[in-house]
Amino acid sequence: MRKGILILQSILLLMAVLASNGCSIGVKDEPMPLSQENIEKFESAADNATKKIDPSTGTTVDKLIKAYKEPMEKELGYNFDKTFRLWLIREAGMMEKMAITPATTLFRVMMTPAIEQIYGNTDEALKKGLISQQTYKIMTACKNAIDDKCNQIIKEELASMGKK
Domain count, the chain: 1
SS (H, E, C) the chain: CHHHHHHHHHHHHHHHHHHHCCCCCCCCCCCCCCCHHHHHHHHHHHHHHHHCCCCCCCCHHHHHHHHHHHHHHHHHCCCHHHHHHHHHHHHCCCCCCCCCCHHHHHHHHHHHHHHHHHHHCHHHHHHCCCCCHHHHHHHHHHHCCCHHHHHHHHHHHHHHCCCC
Tell me whether residue 12 is in a domain. Answer: no
pLDDT of residue 12: 41
pLDDT of residue 23: 46
Tell me whether residue 5 is in a domain. Answer: no
pLDDT of residue 32: 92
**pLDDT per position as a tens digit, 51-107:** 999 989 999 999 999 999 999 999 999 999 999 988 887 776 655 655 667 777 788
Tell me whether residue 37 is in a domain. Answer: yes
- Provide the mean pLDDT of the chain: 78
**pLDDT per position as a tens digit, 123-147:** 999 999 999 999 998 888 776 655 6
Tell me whether residue 51 is in a domain. Answer: yes
